A and B are shown apart, each in its own frame.
Chain A
Amino acid sequence: MTMDWKSYDPNGFFDELVCRDGSIRPPARQLIHYLESLPPEEIESRRQMAEATIQEMGVSFTVYTEEGNIDRAWPFDIVPRTISAKQWRTTAAGLEQRLKALNLFINDLYHEQQVLKDGIIPAEIITESRNFRPECIGITPPLGVWAHICGTDLVRDGDGEFYVLEDNLRVPSGVSYMLENRAITKRVLPELFEKDDILPIDGYCASLFDMLASLSPRDVRKPVIVVLTPGIFNSAYFEHAFLAQQMGIELVEGSDLMVGDDDCVYMKTISGPERVDVIYRRIDDLFLDPSVFNKDSVLGVPGLMRAWQKGKVALANAPGAGVADDKVVYAYVPEIIRYYLNEEPIIKNVETFLCDDPEHRAYVLENLDKLVVKPANESGGYGMLVGPHSTKKEQAQFAKLIQDNPRNYIAQPTLALSTAPTLVDNGSLEPRHLDLRPFILQGRDTYVTTGGLTRVAMKKGSLVVNSSQGGGSKDTWIVDGGEE
């Protein structure tokens, strides 16, 4: 494929692979040279190979629609996104720093609440948060850690710097797709893995297992660890089964577990009840235990909160951890880092306007056509307004929503999300916007994935990368040597 990189036009956005003058960034050089050496038919045949591989491996995700749930093949772009190892080391340090501070913060909120007393964050933000769980007050989970698995969304702005867009501390998903993307790329572009120094990513499942094992309340050599899934109809079921299979542990549903009179959790096996030490739960807080939260929930396990409160079982993430991924709390994270760690944040936040603040609110209402408005507690890209792409009617709708419930909304400037060359229908490479979700683990040690899941908006000009809304994904390469 011959590409005239001078005519490749990221339209003023920062491109991950190509500089403004059309030269190729060092980490991407081998990749681009290689792609240029392939005739167009060959590129098309690699693309088809990727598609077939995805079908064969059964990589799918579920989309909820009015006609029912649809299992869709995972949308994938064969051109990897590259980042230099040097830059990644700094970013990874920033991610660890952030999660450490957030865990200290959550632990403080459920104990002394010193951070509120010291006026770092207004107390009502916490007391009014839908994700603050009074049931967790006074509890110290193993190692004092609440959020063991965190998926942090990073974006690169026009200046080429990484910013944190949001922290996902409840049940972040996507890591299986990160691993599958690499498996697909190895089959589709195997030649590149011989030449390029692409750092491996497959340590994740082993690290996840070790982290979970480090939480075991029993000091046994082989603690019993399970993945708790809401079941086959959940959009991330594929990932739940994938992780259980990779770690060699049981995939359970609520009905497979029970809490005994001794407050321990047991799973129902063919040899009778077997005690469970650690539960990697992929169910939201409110469905965990029908005797405490949502009474109608059939997904959870009655008595599970009691078992956790008594320290008989570890839950990852701990209930109540979501209090720190509220988008209003997000605005305060830089302060939280300074307060608990006495360090400057390594990765910056995106500028955020809190609609609860009268001045901010007035600014937001005046600039709805320029801002992105998000509800404080939603995920998956649902219920948000992308100002520049919205109609007057939608803006008026959001103005009313904000005025009715200002605490529940924040706004951010429309980011100039970075782009990367993406194979489009006519067989050429065009810039498409993307973000990056690395996964961070904290138990006895901390661990950051090498890169993460790159999600890409497949539609020209679109900024929405969620797979539920037409986004796709790319393999993410952290390339050693060839620094910028």
Chain B
Amino acid sequence: MLSKVAERLYWAARYLERVENTARLVSVYDKLLFDLPREVDISWYSLVELNSASDLFSERYRIRDEHNVVKFILADDTNPSSMLSALRMLRENIRTSRDVLPVESWEQINELYLYAQNNIRLGINRSKRYEFLDQVVSRCQMLFGMLSGTMSHDAPWQFVKLGRDLERSDMTTRILDAGAAALIAANGDASVNLRQVVWGNVLRSASAYMSYRRSVRMSVTGPDVACYLLEDAHFPRSVEACLTQLEISAGKLPQGHHVVELIREINPSVYPITTEADLGPAFRSFLNDLQIQLCQLSNRISQTWFPA
């Protein structure tokens, strides 16, 4: 398999996962802000910080309000991680890998792209935002489902999986970070109720609410949510489960051991979490370290299979 084709599939999957997660995140924030008591000062701007895009944002906008943040996150083409930018990159990567992908995937991605492009206003304004984002999420899932159900599960598919699981684990750390940041912003006087609202939404943004309730069988608390999203072996968006999948995929590829050994060095349970107090600045810095490790993993993947 050509390195370049592998690289395109890897990135196509990362962008696809990014589009889906960005749509989820905005959607959850939307609901979260409805649920919060007025006096709590959690702003839309946290979404920008969460994506490590503060500098870029301040180059483009002065006012950190809902409209600007949502526009920046969903539509702005100067923001390379905006949903539309990611979609454009996704389409470009699929367009040039058509010879290894199922024919229908090209049609699907075209439809998704046109839908998002033509209806992006719905995402920026509030009234239809939920429907719009919901459409984007389900079309992304359809595309992954189609690839999984029709591609031969040989090397090209393993690169799709690598891209998906790496992006997914990174996003899970960012969603957790969003929750932690929101409560830190509440200056320590967050009520039990507020905590529940925030962590409940963290779970929902990872589509983890139901499975959390079923497997944890306890009320929603910060430490339990954090452990669940970091360490659960079975929930497909937990960092641990993503790492397991990454290890399986890498192991099926030539010279995979270079990548596998790095995956094994990443330990999402190394930071001890027992009480709410453990979810402060030290927790955020641990999440930041995890993100750096995932970034190094992506570099290792590039060096191993698609060196420049």
Contacts and interface: CB of A to CB of B under 8 A. Distances in A.
A270 B99 contact: no
- Give chain B's interface secondary structure class: helix
B2 A232 contact: no
Contact of A271 (B4, B99, B103, B254): B254
B96 A270 contact: no
Contacts of B96: 232
Interface in A237-256: 241, 244-245, 250-253, 255-256
A323 B255 CA distance: 46
B3 interface: yes
B3 A268 contact: yes
A31 interface: no
Interface string B103-146: 10011000000000000000000000000000000000000000
Nearest to A56: B107
A269 interface: yes
Contact of A250 (B2, B95, B253, B306): B2
Interface in B137-176: 155
Interface in B70-93: none
Nearest to B305: A270
Contacts of A244: 99
Contacts of B98: 241
Interface in A262-293: 267-272
A252 B4 CA distance: 9
A58 interface: yes
B1 interface: yes
Contacts of A56: 107
Contacts of B107: 56, 58
Contacts of A267: 2
Contact of A268 (B4, B99, B155, B253): B4
Contact of A269 (B2, B95, B106): B2
A253 B255 contact: no
B99 A241 contact: yes
B3 A256 contact: yes
Contact of A232 (B95, B253, B255): B95
A463 B245 CA distance: 60
A251 B95 CA distance: 13
B6 interface: yes
Contact of A270 (B95, B103, B106, B155): B155
Given A253-B4, A270-B1, A270-B3, A245 B255 contact: no
A365 to B, nearest CB: 49
A456 B255 CA distance: 53
Contacts of B155: 270
A58 B106 contact: yes
Contacts of A272: 254-255
Contacts of B106: 58
Given A270-B254, A271-B254, A255 B4 contact: yes
A268 to B, nearest CB: 4
Contacts, number: 43
Interface residues of B, number: 20
B99 A256 contact: no
B255 A271 contact: yes
Nearest to B7: A270
A252 B2 contact: yes
Contacts of B254: 270-272
Interface in B243-278: 253-255
A104 to B, nearest CB: 36
A255 B107 CA distance: 28
Contacts of A256: 2-4
A281 to B, nearest CB: 16
Contact of B253 (A245, A253, A255, A270): A270
Given A58-B106, A270-B254, A270-B306, A245 B3 contact: no
A244 B97 CA distance: 12
A255 B6 CA distance: 14
B99 A269 contact: no
Contacts of A268: 2-4, 306-307
Interface in A360-386: none
A245 B99 contact: yes
Nearest to B4: A256
Question: Quick one: which of A250, A255, A267 has the most chain B CB within 10 A?
Answer: A250
Contacts of A255: 4
Given A58-B106, A270-B155, A251 B3 contact: no
A430 B6 CA distance: 50
A467 B98 CA distance: 23
Contact of B99 (A58, A251, A253): A251
Contact of B3 (A58, A232, A241, A269): A269
Contacts of B307: 268
Interface centre among B4, B106, B307 (most CB of A within 10 A): B4
A253 B8 CA distance: 13
Contacts of A270: 1-3, 6, 155, 253-254, 305-306
A338 to B, nearest CB: 44
Nearest to B1: A270
Nearest to A232: B96
B161 to A, nearest CB: 14
B25 to A, nearest CB: 32
Nearest to B253: A270
A112 B273 CA distance: 84
Nearest to B110: A58
Contacts of A232: 95-96
Contacts of B5: 250
B213 to A, nearest CB: 41
Contacts of A251: 99
Given A255-B4, A270-B3, A270-B254, 11 more contacts: A58-B106, A241-B98, A245-B99, A256-B2, A256-B4, A267-B2, A268-B307, A270-B253, A270-B305, A271-B1, A271-B254
29 contacts: A56-B107, A58-B107, A232-B96, A241-B99, A244-B99, A245-B99, A250-B2, A252-B2, A252-B4, A253-B4, A255-B4, A256-B2, A256-B3, A267-B2, A268-B2, A268-B3, A268-B4, A268-B306, A269-B3, A270-B3, A270-B6, A270-B155, A270-B253, A270-B254, A270-B306, A271-B1, A271-B255, A272-B254, A272-B255
The 7 tightest CB contacts between A and B, nearest first, are: A271-B254, A268-B3, A270-B305, A245-B99, A241-B99, A270-B6, A270-B1
